[in-house]
Amino acid sequence: MSRPPGRESDVEALVARLRELRAARAHPPCEYPLLLDAALAELEHAAEALRQAQGAPPPGPRTAFPFKAIFDHLPWPVILTDEQTVVRRLNRAAAELTGLPPGYAAGRPLAALLRPADRAVLRAHAAAVARGEGDRSLPLRLQRAPEGPLYATLTGIEVPGKHRREVLLTLTPTPAPRPAGPAEDRADPEAVVRQAEVTALLDRTDRALLSGNTPSAALGAATGLLCEGLADWALLDLASPAEPARLTVHGPPVPDDAGLEKAFLRQTPLDCPVAVDVMASGATAVEQLTEDLARLGTDEDGTPLMARAGVTSLLSVPLTAPDGTTVLGALTLLRAGAAPPFSLLEAAGAEIAAGHMALVADRGGPGPH
């Protein structure tokens, strides 16, 4: 059976109207309520179109056309989540705004992208919308863009093939100056620059490893450089015949929590779950969005160290000996606040550095630094 007549033209008309609304972002903030009402009306129209598509007879090989066409071609960032804000699907505009690849974001909590104060708010409203208590709009702030709020509009939707209502969420950034030219033209130079920065960092790290008076001093200096170039905090744990020991901790020059560095130093790696996992498995742990407060263990008072450090992204890599099987320790890098998630390029650089550090660790045992 052919596709229902007029469906494609309806989608194209919807996309055209949304482009006009997107252009209206340059209007004064006092006009935003009207724009949000208009956006909500258009989302309700899109939701109704999806409901009709769900109930229509199967149109052969293009069964998924209405949903995919409406969703993927919306010019605004649009994300489909469940009542707990777990991402089901996001379009290209949303991937560009959040900095997350669509394949990675699926199955992960959207709330983890937000500042901590906004997470509970989004979850509460998403749950209410999923229960059928009405659509709504609210301001939110991304960790990577704390300077200006996003205007989030949530509407309930019955997705084809699903048995429960999910939440369609659109994020409208506040107006901001943008460089000229397509996004693709801007991405490559940034990647090249970051590649050069990581390469230079590895060079400095290798020099520190070669020039250290003792293995412990060399490893401590290299960890400090990696913290400076890649993270807010860096922890280095080394294995030993008795039990692992924390060799060194590096953090911000003036941390918000003055006692946090000492808390990290006093912790045994056996009480740090991510370090235990990495040293046991020999596999890198990359958590671009993490809300698991147990990943770093707790301080002596039982407070999660993840919470004290405000960690939003975590990267832990094993120090693997030249034999390729023996794990000599774990290097754990932490990012907090508005810092972007660790990229695959940065994770690869950390793995290279950890391999070089393993050569030095193989020559000397753990000791405090």
Three-state SS string over 63-127 comes to CCHHHHHHHHCCCCCEEEECCCCEEEEECHHHHHHHCCCHHHHCCCEHHHHECHHHHHHHHHHHH
User: Comparing 113-122, 172-181, 192-201, which segment has the lowest mean pLDDT?
Assistant: 172-181
Q: Output the pLDDT for position 223.
A: 96
Q: Which residue, 122, 155, 173, sits at the end of a domain?
A: 173
Is a pLDDT exceeding 70 seen at residue 331? yes
Residue 366 lies in a domain: no
Crossing angle of helices 32-55 and 7-23, in 10° steps, is 160
Residue 102 lies in a domain: yes
Tokens of 82: 């469940």
**Distance spanning both ends of the chain, measured CA to CA:** 72
Which CATH number characterizes residue 286's domain? 3.30.450.40
Q: Output the pLDDT for position 18.
A: 67
288-309: per-residue pLDDT in tens?
A: 777 788 999 999 999 999 999 9
Q: Give the domain extent around 206.
A: 183-361
Q: Which residue, 173, 202, 231, sits at the end of a domain?
A: 173
Question: Pick from 338, 337, 349, 366: which is nearest to 284 by CA?
Answer: 349
86-137: per-residue pLDDT in tens?
A: 888 888 888 888 777 767 778 888 888 887 778 888 888 888 888 888 888 7
pTM beyond cutoff 0.85: no
Q: Output the pLDDT for position 317.
A: 95
Task: State how many domains the chain has.
Answer: 2
Q: Which residue, 173, 193, 208, sits at the end of a domain?
A: 173
Residues 143 and 232 occupy one common structural domain:
no
Q: Is 317 exposed, middle or buried (0-12, 13-18, 19+ CB in 10 A)?
A: buried
Confidence class of residue 36 from pLDDT cuts 50, 70 and 90? low
Residues 143 and 219 occupy one common structural domain:
no
Residues 311 and 238 occupy one common structural domain:
yes
